[in-house]
Structure 1
Amino acid sequence: MPRDIDVLVLGGAGVDTIVHVPQLPLPFADSHMIRPGITTRAGQSGDFVALGLTALDLRTHHVDLLGDDHEGDLVRALHRDHGIPLTALPHPAGTKRAVNLVGPDGRRQSLYDATRTDGPDRLPESPVRRLAAASRHAHVAITHPWVHALPLLREAGTTLSTDLHDWDGADPYHEPYALAADLVFLSAAALTDPERTIRDIAARGRARTVVATAGADGALLLADGELIRIPAVRPPGPVVDTNGAGDAFAAGFLFGRLNGEDARRCALYGAIAGAHACTVPSTRTGAVGRGDLLARAAAAGPAGRFRPPAE
């Protein structure tokens, strides 16, 4: 069967309600008057990865469980508007949703509706096997119940990546993903010793490449046993929201990997894509395009930091 999908994104579809708050943590008060207001839009981790990959001209397909509800309609419309093929499997508990509190500096705090993670413990295997067989690579979100897809993806012979997000290095929920993937992304936010954690992932699992992102402090990359510190990239505009920056990093990194670039170059692409994401308001969805990404990478200095091209 021809592998005419570059990246199959599994899971992570949902809807966020964006609430701008005067500061984080939000001080206790009976009420707060907030601007620019409250916005509900489609876009969670898997959606953002799929958007980022599509903007970089990779043939992308997204599959997840969606409810027959308003939130599901928003997710379906997002994919339709951006030309991203979507396989929506029925979910009786409804489409995943969250509330994101966004501070003036772009930091955010997410509140996930755990009731939307209830439902079937198993996935219908037939569509997953069919899509996996047609894919060069699969990126698996850690949302329920996609852990059960990991053996199916392995059987199909596709390479795997996952994003553990703010894993603390100990929660057993994340371990099956961490140990099954060939490429692992995670945030360093909850790690006391990021180097120890990423080396442990590589030692116990399949991954030869592990990346711990740290926002403005760059990232720590472990590639074939070599530890590499990746500097941050200066955003091309004001930082207005950090939501989706890690997903954009993953999309940029995967773009480089699927085009045969070495790990350092992949990480540079990821850093550029992540920095771009920080300039996109939380009420919108947008990703860096292929031409823009390559131009910014070409303009990167020796240390890997973006420098605007001379006019």
Structure 2
Amino acid sequence: MELDVLVVGGAGVDTIVRVPGLALGARETVSVEPIETYVGHTGHGVALGCHLLGVPAGLADVIGEDDEGFRIRQLYWDLQMPLYFVQHPNGTRRSVNLVTPDGERLSFYDGRLPAGLRVDPELWRPGISQARHVHVSIMDFARHALPDALAAERTISTDLHDWDGRNDYHRDFATSADIVFVSAGALPDDAVSWIFGHGRAQVVVVLAGSDGSYLHLPGEPPKHIPAIQLPDRPVVDTNGAGDAYVAAFLARWLDGVSWYDAAQAGTIAGAWACGSAGTHTDLITAEELAARNV
């Protein structure tokens, strides 16, 4: 099977707890709505988002031989999406996300895999050989897929999430990718210029939540893409909005549209994702995106 996008790393299981607020005080017990679990995390969100947008996508990852790992495998089987995996005794990544009524969240992430993990590169090489584009999540083991993607002359994207512009952990990803996504939260003013000066990035997209996003191209002032609200989908949960943005951006860019139009598509997809409870439970489809003239 040919792929448009191979995602390396970043699947897990999310437990979503809907709480009245993130400041819970010293209470011993808080009554909440039913607690639900979902297959989620950043790499899965990008792969699933691309798939629902009609872009053939697969995932290469390290999971556990546990119930959570089985759940991921079953979902990819049901969706008929390629899943390349190896199993590790530490188990499958998990997180517990507290979500407020207005969609704000706080995530407790259990990455499980040991730092410095190396796996057989045959985990991702078959997918890279078939893919047009490789999205590499910032899992420690996944950085070792970057040289193979470069050697295969594939375009590469990554999401640095809340990088502070200084942490060395992120630098391999930042300097190897053609398309770099990063959160505005902890980003210093000089970080984008550092990425352009030290790497191969063609574009850097800074995601700023309710403030929208900023499209940076070399030698040009940043373009602000305001966030939007979809009247029929009020915000109930921001889990997975960034992943939805990335997926739609990649899907439209691979269709040949401009960086700006790709960012507009990402904006709509991110807003759409905020309108459903849970993680990646209702990502936008190609038909729904086209209906909004993107």
Q: 1:210 aligns with which of 194, 200, 204?
A: 204
- Residues 92 and 119 in structure 1, CA contact (< 8 A), matched pair in contact too: no
Matches within 5 A, 1:1-311: 4-34=2-32, 36-114=33-111, 116-118=112-114, 121-193=117-189, 196-226=190-220, 227-235=222-230, 236-282=232-278, 285-298=281-294
What is the one-letter code of the residue matched to 1:58? V
Greater shift in the superposed pair: 224-233 or 16-25: 224-233
Give the gaps of 5 or more residues in structure 1: 299-311
Q: Does the residue aligned with 1:211 lie in a helix, a strand or coil?
A: strand
TM-score (normalizing by structure 2): 0.95
What is the one-letter code of the residue matched to 2:293? A
Q: CA deviation at 1:287?
A: 1.0
Separation of aligned partners in 2, 1:25 and 1:157: 48
Q: Does the residue aligned with 1:117 lie in a helix, a strand or coil?
A: coil
Q: CA deviation at 1:225?
A: 2.8
What is the one-letter code of the residue matched to 1:139? H
Separation of aligned partners in 2, 1:182 and 1:293: 25
- Residues 240 and 279 in structure 2, CA contact (< 8 A), matched pair in contact too: no
- Residues 129 and 156 in structure 1, CA contact (< 8 A), matched pair in contact too: no
Separation of aligned partners in 2, 1:102 and 1:203: 38
What is the one-letter code of the residue matched to 2:228? V
* 1:123-147 C-alpha deviation (Å, 9 max, x unpaired): 2122422221111000011123111
- Residues 208 and 225 in structure 1, CA contact (< 8 A), matched pair in contact too: no
Separation of aligned partners in 1, 2:23 and 2:144: 36
What is the one-letter code of the residue matched to 2:5? V
Q: Structure 1 279/135 Cα, relative in aligned 2: closer, same or farther at 3 Å?
A: same
Q: CA deviation at 1:200?
A: 1.9
Q: Does the residue aligned with 2:270 lie in a helix, a strand or coil?
A: helix
Q: CA deviation at 1:149?
A: 1.1
Q: Does the residue aligned with 1:6 lie in a helix, a strand or coil?
A: strand
Separation of aligned partners in 2, 1:47 and 1:78: 11
Give the gaps of 5 or more residues in structure 2: none
Q: CA deviation at 1:283?
A: 5.9
Q: Which residue of 2 is the match for residue 309 of structure 1?
A: none
Structure 1 runs (4+) greater than 4 angstroms displaced: none
Q: Does the residue aligned with 1:246 lie in a helix, a strand or coil?
A: helix
* 1:165-190 C-alpha deviation (Å, 9 max, x unpaired): 11111111111111110000011122
Separation of aligned partners in 2, 1:170 and 1:107: 26
Separation of aligned partners in 2, 1:222 and 1:263: 10
What is the one-letter code of the residue matched to 1:125? P
CA RMSD of aligned residues (A): 1.6
TM-score (normalizing by structure 1): 0.90
Separation of aligned partners in 2, 1:225 and 1:95: 42
What is the one-letter code of the residue matched to 2:205? V
Count of aligned positions:
292
* 1:76-123 C-alpha deviation (Å, 9 max, x unpaired): 122223232111211121111111111111011111114x12277212
What is the one-letter code of the residue matched to 2:195? I
Separation of aligned partners in 2, 1:26 and 1:181: 40
What is the one-letter code of the residue matched to 2:229? R
Separation of aligned partners in 1, 2:268 and 2:114: 36
Separation of aligned partners in 2, 1:284 and 1:200: 32
